[in-house]
Amino acid sequence: MAVMTVLEAVRQAMLEEMRRDSRVFVMGEDIGARGGVFLATDGFLQEFGEQRVIDTPLAESSIAGIAIGAAVNGMRPIAEIEFADFVWPAMNQIVGEASRIRYGTNGNKFAPLVVRMPYGGGVRGGLYHSQTIDVVFAHQPGLIVIAPCTPYDAKGLLKAAIRADDPVVFLEHKRTYRLVRGEVPEEEYILPIGKADIKRAGSDMTVVSYGLMVHYCLEAARKLSDEGVEAEVVDLRTLAPVDRETFLESVRRTSKAMVVYEDNRTYGIGAEIAATIAQDAFHDLDAPVVRLAGPDVPAMAFAPPFEAEFMLSPEKIAAAMRDLAAY
Amino acid sequence: MPPDDSPSAATATSGQRVRSSKLTRPDLLEMYRVMALSRTLDERVWLLNRQGKAAIVAAAQGHEAAQIACVFATDPSRDHYLIYYRELTTLLAVGLTPLDLLKGFLSKEGEPMSGGRQFPTHGACRNVDLFSFSNVVGTQLPQAAGVALADKMRGEPNVTVVYFGDGAASQGDCHEAMNFAGIHRLPIIFFCENNRYAISVPLSKQMAVENIAARAAGYGFPGVTLDGTDPIGVYEAVYAAAERARNGGGPTLIEVMVERLFPHTSDDDHTRYRSAEDLRQMRSRDPLPTFEAQLRKAGILDDATHDRIWSEAKRLVNEATEEAEAAPYPQVDQFTRHVFAES
Ligand SMILES: Cc1ncc(C[n+]2csc(CCOP(=O)(O)OP(=O)(O)O)c2C)c(N)n1
Ligand SMILES: [Mg+2]
């Protein structure tokens, strides 16, 4: 097994799929000579040429729309949005259009594109380089939304996304890119879309999360373990369609549940998870379901104290876990 | 030297001068002074970035001449400026101080544009109608058309200047804004700072035509492409466009060809995508030495004035750096304010 970063896993997933399938191509801003602003497509231009590695004009609506058109016409485009914060001009094409092509044509057409985008905070990105906007996509039936947090998951799920016959929004947490390293098998593997993963087993509470927050939850869980509390950490991995069974089954065993997400709290992923638990595991619960999330301000602010205030941390999560354990 | 040729460094240029189609000698010297101050500050913030103190920096180096000319040709006491992130000279020209700006780069308390919430140079000024709401490239263009529309509705003879890069010109928002502005003959100047790159993407991959100004014809208003290293030429074009806009003549697209002398931001490495030859040519188009030579040739700048301007710039930036570094971060209790109107 090779040890690599999340970023390298993403790069290798695309590289392998492009070598395997000539229909796969990448497009986006700065992905050619620059190799992408995060270097996710480093070396691609040299290997595949300008036909399959398209540096686009700075125009996100067209990036998404062109990817849709090419996908409908038999290609497998991977469109990169430079930062999730800049996907808004493309929302009409992704949320409004891509999601409805199969449904709206009664299955006559489909759009197998992947839209990759780095998201998330804790990188001194301020209002426009920190956003977590996953829920906007996850709310829209017809879109698959994937948000891995380890190199292993990122590679296996991105390959699955490229092969999927439906539009996929693939969310990569910027902070995990270089921070998180992990083992990745040498041999080819594909991970199933729509399957959560228990990243840590525990019997005292279930903590449901995804993205960078999974790592913070794991760190918090290790702290709590020293205090005699064992938290089970469920990584959703796919946000839509969401795997309800895995976390429900976990909650039935632990009887306590907490959802941890970086986004603003209100109307967030936590609302869906908490409501599902309340509805389907009510009789197993020993405590109200806890939502731990970002505050309801328009975005993460730039000054270090503001960012620290907005972001969750292993310490904040550990404190919430302690409260829940004591309930 | 005329006696009034040494404006106090601390004074804003706004409203201080009688605007006319021709620049006076003190005007030219003042333009040079602001350019020198901008360059000095720009170099400082890169240093602060390399020292790990400023999280992000986007240089205006190479754009100074065009930016100073555009402010000088308009009226900060009443016109509107919707800028983008590469506008250090514009900000100094409308009256922000090095301290204001350094507090932004270090996100310190008292930062005047966003209270330390945004990236440096983002937010809005209090005394001048200059703002930069977003990092999302291109969004300011339709907003600027709206600003100009409001003036037109109220019959106010102000001009809106909207600044954007060549990259932003590809956004649908740019087309939509220009189309609307053309239809309604809005009092607006589309000021495109074309430095030939959108991060790494060269013009040839952004558009199939020679220049952006050519598009103006499709919207029914004039467009010109100018050498953005020549502040006098840019001044004259912007001045004429502003006069026309104030008199109901509608929009103008002014494209200034400039150089981005540094990588896109402090997070970028332009040697990944710019050839050695390209970088060499770029350096030969630095507007500061060119303008300096021009001023010297015209007998407007001598060694003593030159040295005074640069040492004064250095002093101002040094003092501001010290003060900004010593300032505290904003108070965390400010963080939930201004989400909605406060009663
Ligand atoms: C909508 C959007 N897409 C992508 C980005 C990332 N980005 C920031 S600046 C930039 C290039 C802008 O180039 P240009 O407009 O030419 O301005 P310059 O930086 O060259 O002055 C890109 C792609 C962004 N900020 N907003
Ligand atoms: Mg540019």
Q: Which residues of B touch A65 (CB under 8 A)?
A: none
Here the tokens at position A109 are 């057409």
Contacting residues for A319 by C-beta, under 8 A, at least 6 apart: none
Here the tokens at position B40 are 């000095």
Give CA separation, A8 vs A11, A14, A42, A151, in Å. 5, 10, 10, 8
CA of B204 vs chain A CAs: smallest distance (Å): 10
CATH architecture for the domain at A2-184: 3-Layer(aba) Sandwich (3.40)
Say if CB A31 and CB A80 are below 8 A apart.
yes
Mean pLDDT of chain A: 98
CATH tag, A197-325: 3.40.50.920
Say if CB A97 and CB A109 are below 8 A apart.
no
Asked if the bond preceding A241 is cis, omega within 30° of 0, the reply is: yes
Q: Which residues of A touch B118 (CB under 8 A)?
A: 126-128, 301-302
Query: Of A75, A79, A73, A74, which Cα lies nearest the Cα of A53?
Result: A79
CATH at B50: 3.40.50.970
> Nearest-CA residue of chain A relative to B200?
A30
Task: Count structural domains, chain B.
Answer: 1
Q: Where in chain A are all domains bearing CATH 3.40.50.970? A: 2-184
CA of B341 vs chain A CAs: smallest distance (Å): 13
CA of A175 to the centre of ligand 1 (A): 21
pLDDT exceeds 70 at position A160: yes
CA of A54 vs chain B CAs: smallest distance (Å): 9
Give CA separation, A256 vs A206, A259, A322, in Å. 6, 11, 12
Say if CB A90 and CB A68 are below 8 A apart.
no
Predicted confidence at residue B18, as pLDDT, reads: 65
Annotation marks residue A215 as catalytic: no
Is the C-beta atom of B80 inside 6 A of ligand 1? no
B271 touches chain A (CB under 8 A): no
3 state SS of A319: helix
Query: Of A268, A142, A168, A136, which Cα lies nearest the Cα of A213?
Result: A268
Question: What is the share, in percent, of chain A residues with pLDDT greater than 70?
Answer: 100
Give CA separation, A66 vs A34, A63, B168, B202, B225, in Å. 21, 5, 18, 20, 30
CA of A258 to the centre of ligand 2 (A): 46
Query: Of B288, B305, B293, B297, which Cα lies nearest the Cα of B1?
Result: B305
The arrangement of strands across the sheet holding A197-200 comes to: A197-200, A231-235, A205-209, A257-264, A290-294
Query: Of A130, A147, A166, which Cα lies nearest the Cα of A300?
Result: A130
CA of B168 to the centre of ligand 1 (A): 6
How many whole angstroms separate alpha carbon A285 and alpha carbon B150?
57
Q: Which residue has the tokens 């040890």?
A: A3
Q: Fill in the amino acid letter for B179.
A: N
Scan residues 199-258 of B and list those with Cβ closer than 8 Å to A. 199-201, 205-207
Best mutation site among A34, A81, A86 for ligand 1 pocket (most ligand atoms within 8 Å of CB) = A86
Residue B35's Cβ-side half-sphere holds a number of Cα atoms within 13 Å equal to 28
CA of B223 to the centre of ligand 1 (A): 22
Predicted confidence at residue B17, as pLDDT, reads: 60
Best mutation site among B137, B201, B260, B262 for ligand 1 pocket (most ligand atoms within 8 Å of CB) = B137
Say if CB A143 and CB A87 are below 8 A apart.
no
Is the C-beta atom of B165 inside 6 A of ligand 1? yes
Q: Give per-residue pLDDT as tens, A101-157.
A: 999 999 999 999 999 999 999 999 999 999 999 999 999 999 999 999 999 999 999
Is the C-beta atom of B195 inside 6 A of ligand 1? yes
How many whole angstroms separate alpha carbon A276 and alpha carbon B112?
45
How many whole angstroms separate alpha carbon A190 and alpha carbon A13?
10
Q: What is the distance, to the nearest Å, from the Cα of residue B246 to the centroid of all Cα atoms in its chain?
A: 21
Domain of residue B118, residue span:
23-326
Is the C-beta atom of B199 inside 6 A of ligand 1? yes
* Residue B342 domain flag: no
Query: Quick one: residue B228, left, alpha or beta (phi over 0 = left, psi -120 to 50 = alpha)?
Result: alpha
Say if CB B66 and CB B228 are below 8 A apart.
yes
Q: Which residues of B touch A58 (CB under 8 A)?
A: 137-138, 167-168, 170-171, 198, 201, 206
User: What is the DSSP pairing of strand B252-257 with strand B223-227?
Assistant: parallel
Looking at A180-211, list the stretches that DSSP marks H as alpha helix, in order from N- to C-terminal side.
none
User: Model-level pTM greater than 0.90?
Assistant: yes
How many whole angstroms separate alpha carbon A40 and alpha carbon A38?
6
* Residue B167 domain flag: yes
Say if CB A221 and CB A197 are below 8 A apart.
no
How many whole angstroms separate alpha carbon B266 and alpha carbon B271?
13
**pLDDT digit of tens for each residue in chain B (343 aa)?**
333 333 333 344 444 566 788 899 999 999 999 999 999 999 999 999 999 999 999 999 999 999 999 999 999 999 999 999 999 999 999 999 999 999 999 999 999 999 999 999 999 998 999 999 999 999 999 999 999 999 999 999 999 999 999 999 999 999 999 999 999 999 999 999 999 999 999 999 999 999 999 999 999 999 999 999 999 999 999 999 999 999 999 999 999 999 999 999 999 999 999 999 999 999 999 999 999 999 999 999 999 999 999 999 999 999 999 999 999 999 998 889 999 999 8
Q: Give per-residue pLDDT as tens, A270-315.
A: 999 999 999 999 999 999 999 999 999 999 999 999 999 999 999 9
Say if CB A232 and CB A203 are below 8 A apart.
yes
Give CA separation, A6 vs A2, A17, A51, A149, A240, in Å. 12, 17, 26, 8, 21
- Measured by CA distance, the residue closest to atom 18 of ligand 1 is B165
* Residue B50 domain flag: yes
Best mutation site among B199, B258, B265, B270 for ligand 1 pocket (most ligand atoms within 8 Å of CB) = B199
Q: Where in chain A are all domains bearing CATH 3.40.50.920? A: 197-325
3 state SS of A169: strand
Q: Nearest CB to A85: which of B116, B136, B206?
A: B136
